[in-house]
């Protein structure tokens, strides 16, 4: 299955997957994360780059993010 990706800013189809990079991986953690997850790694951040306008769309692993959230 081939999924067509389009830029959310300019609508261009010249979009490529990317990863965020720093001195280490960049992670995201929901504000209402369980206390027990404070010392564990958050959800990895990846992205898409539009090679036409430079827009960067950030994405996280949804299943990992859901596992970090407090349940009622």
pLDDT higher than 90, residue 11? yes
Better pLDDT: 2 or 29: 29
In angstroms, the CA 26 to CA 38 distance is 15
In angstroms, the CA 18 to CA 52 distance is 15
pLDDT (0 to 100) of residue 40: 61
pLDDT higher than 70, residue 37? no
Better pLDDT: 39 or 6: 6
């Amino acid at each position: 299955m081939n999924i067509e990706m389009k830029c959310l800013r300019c609508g261009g189809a010249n979009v490529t997957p990317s990863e965020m990079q720093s001195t280490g991986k960049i992670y995201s953690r929901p504000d209402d994360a369980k206390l027990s997850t404070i010392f564990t790694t958050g959800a990895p951040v990846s992205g898409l780059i539009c090679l036409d306008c430079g827009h960067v769309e950030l994405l996280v692993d949804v299943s990992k993010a859901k596992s970090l959230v407090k349940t009622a």
